[in-house]
Amino acid sequence: MTITVPRPKLNWRERLYLPAIVAGLAITFKHFKNLLLGRTKVTMQYPEQKWDTNLPDYYRGAPALVRDEDGRVRCVACQLCEFICPPRAIKIIPGEIPSEDRFAKVEKYPEAFDIDMIRCIFCGMCEEVCPEQAIFLRKDYAITGYTRADMVHHKEKLLEIGGVMHGVVLKWNKKK
């Protein structure tokens, strides 16, 4: 389909371009004046003002391991999250729960669980794939450190960020 674009002939005032330029200058000057008079409130001064209270529920921050209400570390070291993590940021060394322990039915626990935050891309696939509801993505986004070794979160740090999660499915408890 050929469409003819209408090209109107400009009258002499429009061809001079000066009135259009002056109108444009007036618009930009209005923006300049509004900023100087303090009427523009677009910029957020970052460290002093943050938007953490407005983060949506599904915001993907740093990953964390959780405990349930009995105090058990919910992770059973199945290594599914390690398998699915796209940048291979998670490293798990599984260990055996001794048979005298209260939770001997579970049989496996993570002896070491490292997430390298430099590699983590905050995609949330580990949270999606975990069959035990053990790893969740929290709301903090500013992870910093001075060396690369500082930026690896070990199991204690992950448990500390995670805390206790209520309302998870307790599938390893005794049935009634």
Partner 1 sequence: MDSFFVITSLLKIVGILFIVILPMVSYAVYAERKVSAAIQDRLGPNRVGPAGLLQPIADMFKLLLKEDFTPRAANTFYYWLAPCLAVMPAIITIAVVPFGSTLFGVPMVIADVNVGILFVFAIASLGVYGIVIGGWASNSKYPFLGGIRSSAQMLSYELSLGLAVIPVFLLVGNLRLTSVVRYQIEHGWFIAPFIGDWTNPWKWLLAIPMIVSFLVFTIAIFAETNRLPFDLPEAEQELAGGYNTEYSSMKFSLYFLGEYAAMITGSAVIVTLFFGGWHFPAIPDGSHGWIFGLINIAVFFAKVAIIIFFFMWVRWTLPRFRYDQLMRLGWLFFFEIALVNIFIVAAILPFIQS
Residues at the contact surface with partner 1, assessed by CB under 8 A: 18, 21, 24-25, 27-29, 31-32, 34-36, 40, 42-43
Contact 57, 136 (CB under 8 A): no
Measured over the CA atoms of residue 117, residue 121, residue 127 and residue 129, the dihedral's sign is negative
CB nearer partner 1, residue 24 or residue 145: 24
Q: Kindly state the smallest distance separating residue 163's Cβ from partner 1, in Å.
A: 34
Instruction: Let me know the angle formed at the C-alpha of 136 by 139 and 56, rounded to the nearest 5 degrees.
Output: 35
**Measured from the CB atom, is 1 or 42 closer to partner 1?**
42
**Least distance (Å) between residue 145 CB and partner 1:** 22
CB of 18 vs partner 1, minimal distance in Å: 8
Answer left, alpha or beta for residue 108, where phi above 0 means left and psi between -120 and 50 means alpha: beta
Q: Are 103 and 95 in contact (CB under 8 A)?
A: no
Q: Toward partner 1, which CB reaches closer, 25 or 93? A: 25
Nearest approach, Cβ of 26 to partner 1 (angstroms)?
9
